[in-house]
Structure 1
Amino acid sequence: MKVLVPVKRVIDYNVKVRVKADGTGVDLANVKMSMNPFDEIAVEEAIRLKEAGKATEVIAVSIGVKQSQETLRTALAMGADRAILVEAADDVHTDIEPLAVAKILAAIVKDEEPGLIILGKQAIDNDLGATGQMLAALLGWSQATNANSVEVDGDSAVVAREVDGGLQTVKVSMPAIITTDLRLNEPRYASLPNIMKAKKKPLDAKTPADYGVDVSPRLEIVKTSEPATRSAGEIVGSVDELVAKLKEKGIV
């Protein structure tokens, strides 16, 4: 069984994001980029399935700018077998929308015929969290989102998923799409020998035109702004005063 793992190049989660002065977007100049953390978890899970004998090949896919090949090389260094880069934009500030990404992935699925697709539940740059669900709709496949644990058994997978009330366990038939949550696993670090080996692993370059997909934006970003600054707190002298303040503000 092949496992397909889409990965996205995003601002490193340790970097403090800066908004452009004109409010048109986020400033990416001289900013460290890395693999989306949720996608990193997806790569790790796919590799573990292969190590357990449940998968035969792990294919990493990235859709975006040419620099995304660095993200794919990271996935290859972690243990993915080969990669596909779909160069869908020239400007690093251009974010390919989830529907376009899902359409391209659906076309890749027809070529590769994987039995399982594992991807992050959301990207930390836009937090849309829609690609997995859109892809499942386009393919007509089973899906399990926000996975906390994954057990593949034959032609089905048992997934424990995180919900507001705790954990919900679902069984999905294969082929299926699974989106990963933070507590699914702890991604491994790529060793130096594996980083060197990754340079020799296959990485195919494609374009949206190869799959007949139009990636023209359908959404317009009207404005980007910094979060509102938190106001200073108040010091109260007693519990009674605290309760009175809370009631005054309508909190209790």
Structure 2
Amino acid sequence: MLKEDLKTVNEVSKLTGISVRTLHYYDEIGLLLPAELTESGYRLYDKGNLLKLEQILFLKEMGFELKQIKVILEDPHYDMQKALRKQREILRLKSERLHAIMALIDEKLEGDEYMNFKAFDMKEIERAQEEFKEEVEERWGQTDAYKESAHRTSRYKKEDWQNIMESMNDIFKALACHIGEDVSCKEVQDLIEAWRAHITKYFYECTPEILSGLGDMYVMDERFTNNINQYGEGLAQFMDDAIKYYCLNRL
């Protein structure tokens, strides 16, 4: 990725309206880690970071806590397209409500004394929000992986996240060195096993099903594809292929 495509924390703050302090906090709790750190320790964010920030804000709007959002977005089965469609529906309802209130104001300005409280009704919006929240909580809120990850990550400090990221970077960089080789080779398969162990150690038990889902996500979700391919062009696809071989032949 070109350096000019990266944004500083101040640029992200101005672009999104999120305070620098909040962005720092998201980094500290591992919710939104920057794509890179400069030699001076300044945070740099890429397109994938901004897409993730969009989802964070959406889920916050739905009433989820930050620790819940973190686990939801890390889940390989999180459907961003479905979430965006639901977001659009909620925004449509909010827009209709605002237009109704504006029309009511216009009527009052023209001297209409009829009292109409229907424009202030939030029932449809609340219904749509609650429907989405219940659906997400049913999918993630009661799973063992959710509970385990939430429990572990709630105790991590900034130093812990730095160690986790360094370990991840080492694995990804090592895998990038093997791009173009046969995914069945021992070195590649050992690294996939190390990646699975990394997830299990720091987040939740990475079952074969979860690992396979992660591989699919690496190539199907642009956010993850872009982030992983920073280590080497084509690494996301290479990892997906290597994970599939691992799940079929090593487990």
- Asked whether the two chains share a fold, i.e. TM above 0.5, the reply is no
TM-score with structure 2 length normalisation?
0.23
Rg comparison, structure with higher value: 2
Larger RCO (CA under 8 A, 6+ residues apart): 1
Greater percentage in strand: 1
Greater percentage in helix: 2
TM-score with structure 1 length normalisation?
0.23
